[in-house]
Amino acid sequence: MPSFGTLKADTLTHSTAGSLATNFVVHGSAKGFVSFKGTSTVTVHDSQNVSSVTDIDTGRYRPNFTNSMSNDTYSPAGGCFDSGETGSGGHFISLYTDGGSTMATGSLSVSTREHVGGGRNDPTQVNITINGDLA
Amino acid sequence: MTVTPEFQGTHLWDRLCWAKENLDGVQSEYRVVYEDKVDECAKVMVPDPNWMACALQGGILPPVWVYWELAKDEAQPDFKKHTRGYLLHDTEPVGPMTEEEAIEYLIQKDVPQSVWQSWDEGNRPKMVICRKEQLPATREWRNAWRISDELAA
C-alpha cells in the first residue's frame, strides 16, 4: 500500500547551488500533457490529466482535462512531429476559436497547420503541455 | 491486484499521479462519433488510455456531476476562476466501471450536453458509439465526415 506523507517546506536548499522557494515548483510544474497520433484514427500515446481527445476535423483537436484548470488564462504550448506521411513538410500548433472561446477550464482547442501555406493538416504526432493553476 | 488507496479528500491531481505510477494504460477500442453543429463535420471522441485505467480501477475519478457543476459556474458571465474546485477533490470517488460504463461517463463529461441528452431525437442520430475499426482507415475528406443516414433506419 503506498503512503501519502506530506512534507511541508517553503524553501528547498541545495548544498552548493543555492535555494529555491517551493512555490516555484508548485506554480512552475506542468499541469498536464498529451501526445497523440493525428493521422489515420487518432490514438493517444501518453498523457497526464487528460480524459479524452476529440478529433474535430482535419488538423483540429481538443484535449479534455480530468482535473480542470482554475481559470481560462493558463498557458498551453505544443509542437508537432511529421514523419512525412502527409507530405506537408512540417506543422505548427495554433489555438483556434471554438464557439467563441479558445480555451475552457476543462478543454483546449488547437489546430495544426502546415509551415508552408498555413493550411490545416494532420501531423503524425501532436504534443501539448499545459502550464497554469489547477482547480 | 493493485488496491486503490482511500482517496476521498486527496487532490485529484495526486490521484492521477498515483494512477500513472501504478496502473497500465488501457487503450479502448471504442470511439464516440457525434455531430453538434449542422454546418460542421462529425467529431470523434477518443478515450485516453490513462483515464480509462483510472475508470476501470475505481476509487480515483469524481462523479461526473462534479464536472457539470463546474461547467455551470464557468458559464456565468462574470466567471473569473473556479471557486468550487474542491468538488473534484472532496467528493467521494466513483467505484470501478466496466469499459462500457466508462464510455458512458466520458460521453457525459466530454461530449456537449446538447448532444447526449437528445442524441436519438430528430430525423437521424446525433451520436454513435462504434469501434475504432469501424471508422474510415484514412482521413480522406475528414472535414466532411458525417454520421451515415443508414444508421437512422
State the complex-level ipTM. Answer: 0.95
Q: A6 CA to chain B: closest CA distance, Å?
A: 12
Nearest CA in chain A to B44: A55
Those residues of chain B that have pLDDT short of 70 are: 152-153
Q: Which residues face A114 on adjacent strands?
A: A91
**Mind listing the pLDDT tens digit of every residue in chain A (135 residues)?**
555 677 888 899 989 989 988 888 878 899 999 999 998 899 999 999 999 999 999 999 999 999 999 999 999 998 888 776 555 567 777 777 665 567 899 999 998 888 778 888 888 999 999 999 999
Closest Cβ opposite residue A67 in set B16, B47, B139: B16
> Would you call A55 an interface residue with chain B, using a CB distance cutoff of 8 Å?
yes
Which residue has 502527409 as its cell numbers?
A86
Starting at the earlier edge strand, list the strands of the sheet with A60-65. Answer: A91-95, A110-114, A60-65, A50-57, B43-47, B30-34, B127-131
Q: How far apart are CA A110 and CA B21, in angstroms?
A: 28
Q: Which residues face A79 on adjacent strands?
A: A127
Confidence at residue A24, expressed as pLDDT on a 0 to 100 scale: 81
The amino acid sitting at B49 is: P
Which residue has 481559470 as its cell numbers?
A71
Could you give the dihedral angle defined by the CA atoms of residues B88, B89, B90 and B94, in that order, rounded to the nearest 10 degrees? Answer: 70
Confidence at residue B13, expressed as pLDDT on a 0 to 100 scale: 96
Confidence at residue A88, expressed as pLDDT on a 0 to 100 scale: 54
Confidence at residue B30, expressed as pLDDT on a 0 to 100 scale: 98
Domains of chain B, by residue range, sit at: 12-152
Confidence at residue A4, expressed as pLDDT on a 0 to 100 scale: 65
Confidence at residue A100, expressed as pLDDT on a 0 to 100 scale: 58
Confidence at residue B137, expressed as pLDDT on a 0 to 100 scale: 85
